[in-house]
Structure 1
């Protein structure tokens, strides 16, 4: 095959590569080429490269391998070249060297530098295998490795593949949190505590019931992540530059989806409309929104844990969190809820990342060019959550304990227990009991007895706090007392005798 560009023998350890802007000396130790070098010079901003995004380079390489095989099937590539591209991809994956994929994640051009970085590495490795030296004597990064493709369809497709893998990993992590909460839910099923609305005393619940609310929220997040994974299975691959499929050979599209599905083990399909696939990035808003919702549920739970563990002597002190480090450099004995506080800060970051995604998805005309920043912040959110949740489970949830006596005392003292009077008699009577109890500093059940609405025995049964957290028992007892009230058979003195209301 004729050489596609001159490769003069230069000084030892260097080669010359040429692009549309001229020629550059490239250190022959590198598999990347001239366009990657230009990107290094243009975009050295964050210190974070495309190689730092888990699964991204692998996804681009898998696409290149599938494209090579698809172009072979479509008659565009000879077998030797297609096989060399596939082999180069396997070599790079099995001997992954992050320094060869060195484009900063913050780069312009809709991902062109990232796409060309991979094209150059694969082309140089393929040539090295075929000819014994780097350079593009046999395999060219654009002509062969990039055949039938554009940055515009490769990069968003690789993003979806990478994020699909990360979401699958996060699913497993969230499942561990769900299991941990379920275990604690069972452990604390009998611990009665006071619920609170608007930071004020409300009705009794069990701590297990409270934990079940957290657990169910995370289970909903799992269902949402499964839906987001499905969104990642429809790709714009085959659209080429603007959605017209220009430059792809007949049969290429069907072949690349078949090959890529085989390689990845995923049931991949083309977007219903390629123009939509390139123009609109709103699916990333959905994915980021699901991550934000998960992070919000985590932060809300952690904020509650901080509040319930506050004190321990002058706060709610309903629960005790595991002590994982001293809480003060000056106050001995102080322990802070550092794990929930760490998790809440992660939520702040995920929230900011979601705002970035929203702006980056605005796009314009026929291509959304902000995919690099979308990839960066979406994957960062997933990784942060995936690393935070196991720490939250092992260093906080698994070891938290309930201060049962404190919880029960607060539940028994709530004026909201007067709701039982409203259920048996009416709201005005309940209001009177609550006012009487508040004015005299009494428990509601004592107020009801002193007001001769209930006998002592009746009050003890009706105001047993565990009743309020058990709907079936509650309904049975309330129905009994409603009938007695209608018959005028409730009330009496505090000695337990029954009178009339």
Structure 2
């Protein structure tokens, strides 16, 4: 191999690049350079690269373009070089080749390898624009592409841009879930079922009311996602290495945010305190916590769906979920709640990612160096939720069917209906009716009639189970019967059961 100057082409299809540790031959087919090659040798661990993180490399490239224009305005870069950097970035985005951004997401150095990977690709492409060949004769990855920047402010800024866009997608996804639940809420508005507390029979509600609780939790999640997105609009860009803005020319900080806002179409602003922004990563813990809360609400709902659809002959059997696949390799006819179980596993992963983010946010001294794993964990959680929720909607929620007769029968048989006796008479009488019903295998309605507390007609009205799920009707009927009880005008003649019971 012929010796050539650093960054120049040899006649063997290779070029020689030099960094602080020495020189290396680089296959000239690659736009990345020596520091990326070292990263490939040092950190090939997970098989997941920075190009696999949606929007991350795009965010870095946009920062490089904005920085070039800001440095041009501040007098740091000649127009020709700034324009070549911008053009190189545009070329990389329009002809995106993941293999050129191949640094493993698990890499040390606080993201330096990721930043340099992009710097090298843009520099080599910019030199092609200016000279027709790769190399750093005109545009250098550090001197020019990275001017007025540090990995320490570029990487967290690119992370926020990428996560903002992913959160926007997740908002749309969760809105779809809210709409799907709202439709089911209307469909099941009149389906009376038994509620359960501590896994025990409680008062009747409608299936629509139960679903309204799920819907509202996801509406709250939407508000939390909006707050999380807002955190992503404040960037440490301009802080450079440690927050002092060292290396940036006057006017650069304002200009780079203006240019980046224009390029990304986002209302980006500098962080209020750059030292805080570099030292502390608690905003990521907050964002991850929002994702965990959303995933938890999804998992809770899915566990409830599994319980309510259990059986179908020896379980709750209140609802039927769509059959998406056979449920057993040995038991014909068995159907599993496979889609809710998939979604619950997504929750487990989001929960694990949140634990990773929590530890990674601890940091130390003047920089949090664990941002690569934070980025991987947060974006994986968003991507999983973005993929799981539409499947949950289309393959489960949209096809839920209510087993109305089963639901009503369970509601009518609940001993908790004795609560109406407590509201009309008092708690001790209600307890006696519940015991009487339990001992004899009766419904509360029949027990109240046999105990001569109510006539059959009165019991039919008071224990109509739909009454218990309708606050306004309940209040009117209970007030009516309370007044009748006070006037001694309820029930039939005493047959001895009442006296012996209490």
TM-score range, shorter chain: over 0.9
Hey, what does 1:148 align to over in structure 2?
A: 148
SS at match of 1:17: strand
CA distance in 2, matches of 1:486, 1:112: 80
CA contact (8 A) 1:449 1:493 kept: no
Hey, what does 2:498 align to over in structure 1?
A: none
CA distance in 2, matches of 1:103, 1:425: 74
Shift of residue 55, structure 1, vs aligned partner: 0.3
Hey, what does 2:82 align to over in structure 1?
A: 82
Shift of residue 7, structure 1, vs aligned partner: 4.0
Where in structure 2 are the equivalents of 1:72-471 lying within 5 Å? Answer: 72-471=72-471
SS at match of 2:45: coil
CA contact (8 A) 1:450 1:493 kept: no
Q: Deviations over 1:91-112 (max 9, x none)?
A: 0000000000000000000000
CA distance in 1, matches of 2:102, 2:40: 7
RMSD: 1.1
CA distance in 2, matches of 1:421, 1:348: 44
Distance change (3 Å), C-alpha of 1:176 and 1:247? same
Q: Deviations over 1:42-71 (max 9, x none)?
A: 000000000000000000000000000000
CA contact (8 A) 1:295 1:347 kept: yes
Shift of residue 459, structure 1, vs aligned partner: 0.5
CA distance in 2, matches of 1:78, 1:487: 97
Shift of residue 11, structure 1, vs aligned partner: 3.4
Total equivalences in the alignment: 492
CA distance in 2, matches of 1:92, 1:476: 70
SS at match of 2:299: helix
Gaps of 5+ in 1: 496-500
Runs of 4+ in 1 over 6 A off after TM superposition: none
Distance change (3 Å), C-alpha of 1:309 and 1:9? closer
Shift of residue 330, structure 1, vs aligned partner: 0.6
SS at match of 1:323: coil
TM-score (norm 1): 0.97
Shift of residue 8, structure 1, vs aligned partner: 4.8
CA distance in 1, matches of 2:483, 2:266: 63
CA distance in 2, matches of 1:290, 1:444: 44
CA contact (8 A) 2:43 2:107 kept: yes
Distance change (3 Å), C-alpha of 1:462 and 1:83? same
SS at match of 2:357: helix
Q: Deviations over 1:291-329 (max 9, x none)?
A: 000000000000000000000001110000000000011
Shift of residue 373, structure 1, vs aligned partner: 0.1
Where in structure 2 are the equivalents of 1:38-57 lying within 5 Å? Answer: 38-57=38-57
SS at match of 2:331: coil
Shift of residue 76, structure 1, vs aligned partner: 0.2
Distance change (3 Å), C-alpha of 1:402 and 1:85? same
Q: Deviations over 1:123-166 (max 9, x none)?
A: 00000010000000000000000000000000000000000000
Shift of residue 407, structure 1, vs aligned partner: 0.2
CA distance in 2, matches of 1:197, 1:55: 44
CA distance in 2, matches of 1:494, 1:450: 9
CA contact (8 A) 2:9 2:135 kept: no
SS at match of 1:196: strand
Q: Deviations over 1:184-226 (max 9, x none)?
A: 0000000000000000000000000000000000000000000
Shift of residue 405, structure 1, vs aligned partner: 0.1
Shift of residue 12, structure 1, vs aligned partner: 2.2
Shift of residue 6, structure 1, vs aligned partner: 3.5
CA distance in 2, matches of 1:245, 1:483: 77
Shift of residue 9, structure 1, vs aligned partner: 4.4
Hey, what does 1:28 align to over in structure 2?
A: 28
CA distance in 2, matches of 1:217, 1:6: 59
CA contact (8 A) 2:72 2:82 kept: yes
Hey, what does 1:498 align to over in structure 2?
A: none
Distance change (3 Å), C-alpha of 1:24 and 1:211? same
SS at match of 1:203: strand
CA contact (8 A) 2:8 2:134 kept: no
Where in structure 2 are the equivalents of 1:60-79 lying within 5 Å? Answer: 60-79=60-79
Q: Deviations over 1:321-359 (max 9, x none)?
A: 000000011111000000000000010000000000000
CA contact (8 A) 1:36 1:113 kept: yes
CA contact (8 A) 1:455 1:494 kept: no
SS at match of 1:204: strand
TM-score (norm 2): 0.97
CA distance in 2, matches of 1:285, 1:23: 40
Q: Deviations over 1:362-393 (max 9, x none)?
A: 00000000000000010000000000000000
